[in-house]
Every structure is written in C-alpha cells, then in structure tokens.
Structure 1
Amino acid sequence: MTNVTAHMTMSLDGYIATHSDEVGALFEWYSAGSVEVESRNRDIRFRPDELGAALVRSMMTDVGALVSGRRLFDITDGWGDQHPVGAPVVVVTHRPPADASRWPRTTFVDDVPRAIALAKEIAGDRDVAIASADVVGQALDLGLVDEVAVSLVPLLMTSGKAYFGSLTSGPILLEDPTVVAGTRATHLRYRVRR
C-alpha cells in the first residue's frame, strides 16, 4: 500500500525557509558528514553522516512520486526535470507554466486531492512524498497524509515560512515518533493517528 509522507527540514522553532525562500543553515545536515550519497540529479550532491545517508537513500528507494507546490517548483526551476530522489513530480497549481513541456517528468494539476491521487497512481507500490508546506497543510486538513516526517535542525530562525502554516483543521493526533539523532538534524517520523 502506498504511504503518503509529508517531509520537510525544519528549524527548532518551526520554519522551513526565510520569508525570501532561503534555507541557509537548514540544509547543513545534507553536507555535515563524510558519506557521499549521489542524488538522481547530477547537479545535487549529498554528504550527510551515516544516519542521514540512510534516510536520503531510503527516500531515493521508497519514493515513487513527489507532490510539490508551484512556488517550490519555480524556486528550483523544476529541479531541471530530475528531482534529487529520482521520482516524477506532481505540481499543484492553478497556473501551469506556458512552457510545461520543458518538464516531461512533471504533471501539473489544480488541486491537492487530484495531485495526491495522481501521485499514488504514478508511485504504484512505492511511497508518495509531499515537499511543500502549503500542500502539506491542505493534505493534512483533508486527511490525505499517513505520516509526518521532520528533519529537525538545531537552529532558531525567529521568523520565516512555517512548516504547518496553512493547517486549519485540528487537532491532528500523531503517534509516538521514530527518532534518529544525526549530525545537524534529528530525524522524526510520526504516523498520523486515524
């Protein structure tokens, strides 16, 4: 069965980027070790510690489709049509780019339920990952997320874009976490309680 996981790297005070979309020290854990992990995107390299490397490798193995918002897609220029985990991307947007054919591995849909359904179809028996805060909030509100994952970084940003900023329903109960304490990040996974 396909598992839908929301996964983001977050500061201790709940932010995933600055107001101007910069991540800075948040992504330090991806290069804080000595284990080389080659991503599926030749322009992006990872060098986390052993525990972080296991997490990155599992994402590349387990994730069969990724759901993104348009803003993240634009910031990354669609990852050059090759997301680092190697999975096809489904972008939630009301404004698909005029040159959408530049990204043949990317599909544009206009709402979160359709995006999750399509990503599940694309993923088959593999997992679906959600990597945009607004999409995560909407998917949680709709009961479409099975697991919340956080790579929690020892950083206080004091302001920025919140991981759960668009969440409106609640409370949403989560099970006890699986905890992996790595270098520059503690990786937490919570099943959503149904």
Structure 2
Amino acid sequence: MSKVTTGATMSLDGFIAGPEESGFDLLFQWYVNGDVEIPTASPAVPPLRVSAASAAVVEEEWASTGALVVGRHLYDMTNAWGGRHPMDVPVVVLTHRRPQDRPQDDEDFVFVTDGIEAAVARAKELAGAKDVVVNGGQMARQCLEAGLLDEVGIALVPVVLGAGKTLFGERGELGVAPVQFEGPVSVVQGTGVTHLRYRVKK
C-alpha cells in the first residue's frame, strides 16, 4: 500500500537549513563522501557519491517514490532542478500562482493552488501504487496538520547549525503538537550520516 512520507537531512540540533538558507554544504556532505555513484535525472544536479549503506537507503527510497509535493519556494530556489527532479518523478508544486513560464502542466511539473489536500491527492494520482514524498518545512507541517502523513525519514548528520528551519517549519508554527511517532522502524548507519525512519502514530 502506498504511503505519504516526508524526510530531510537534519543537524543534531534539529535544523534542515540554517539561517537565510545556509548550512547546506555542511548538511549534505554525505551526498559526496562515498564510493557508490547514484545518477540523477536532473541536468542541474550532479550524481551523488555516497557510502554503500547510504546508497541502499537512497536507492530504495527513490525506487518506491512515484511523485513529490513541494512548495513554490523550493521550486524557485532550485530553478526547477533544471527542468526535471533528480529522482526522475513528477513534482506537484503547491503555490498561490502558477509561474508565467509554465502556462500548462506537463510530465515534469503540475501546479496546484487549492491547498495541501488537493496537492497530495493529485500526487497520489500521479504516483499510482508508489509513495508520495512531501518536502520538509511548510509542506510537511501542513501535511501533518491535515492528518495525511504516514512516515518520516531523517538523515541525521553530525553538525550543529544553531538556528534555522526545522522539519515541520518554523518553531512554534505546528498547530497539532504534540505528535507521537512509532519507531525508529529503521536505522541505517552510513558514512557521516545516520538514516532513521519513524511512523506517524494515527
């Protein structure tokens, strides 16, 4: 049965990005510190080079994912990943307004303007029997608040950022706290990263 999941690389003090979108060079060192190459489908994103343990986790997650849900901020910040997401799946972008340079949906990007429930529903249609992955931050918060989230994956890295953005948005924004999780249901030790997975307690 397909799931709705979210996940992110996280610092030891709980941040998925530092202040003003900083800290990614420290958070994502594990993407380039190994011997196993994982190609990406994006012309703008080079192949990952990770440890064998991390490669097994990434390859399983990518193979089980059928569609993504992201916010307009990430879409703009990455310049739409050069036209195709690295995971080679369609991306549903939740936004207040469609970009002028994309007047129509296509096999790469679909734009939804009427809320997280509609975005996840559209992603499920695109994903078929596979999972839907919701981006961290505002999208993850809205999904958790709406009761749509099934699992959370954390790639925990040995760095402290001190401040920044958390997995479920800014501190104090989550409207359903506290939320309990089951697990970890999976723990994998990579090089410079520990992969953890939890289930949302329904």
Q: TM-score, normalised by structure 2?
A: 0.91
Q: Secondary structure at the match of 1:95?
A: coil
Change beyond 3 A, Cα 1:102–1:81: farther
- Could you say which residue in structure 1 is the equivalent of 2:40? 39
Counterpart CA distance in 2 for 1:64 and 1:78 is 18
**Counterpart mapping for 1:68-107 below 5 A:** 68-101=70-103, 104=106, 105-107=108-110
Q: Secondary structure at the match of 2:88?
A: coil
Which of 114, 121, 124 aligns to 1:117? It is 121
- Shifted more, 141-150 versus 76-85: the winner is 76-85
Q: Secondary structure at the match of 1:120?
A: helix
> In structure 2, what residue type is equivalent to 1:33?
G
Structure 2: segments with no counterpart, 5+ residues = none
Q: Secondary structure at the match of 2:29?
A: helix
1:170, CA displacement in angstroms? 2.1
- Could you say which residue in structure 2 is the equivalent of 1:152? 156
> In structure 1, what residue type is equivalent to 2:199?
R
* 8 Å CA contact 1:149, 1:190 repeated in 2: yes
**Counterpart mapping for 1:8-23 below 5 A:** 8-22=8-22, 23=24
1:66, CA displacement in angstroms? 0.4
Residue 30 (1) aligns with residue 31 (2):
yes
Which of 127, 131, 134 aligns to 1:127? It is 131
Counterpart CA distance in 1 for 2:83 and 2:131 is 19
Q: Give runs of ≥4 in structure 1 deviating > 3 Å.
A: none
Residue 176 (1) aligns with residue 183 (2):
yes
Q: Secondary structure at the match of 1:60?
A: helix
Q: TM-score, normalised by structure 1?
A: 0.95
* 8 Å CA contact 1:66, 1:90 repeated in 2: yes
1:103, CA displacement in angstroms? 7.1
Deviations 1:5-36 (A, max 9, x none): 10111111111112222311101111111111
Residue 187 (1) aligns with residue 189 (2):
no
Structure 1: segments with no counterpart, 5+ residues = none
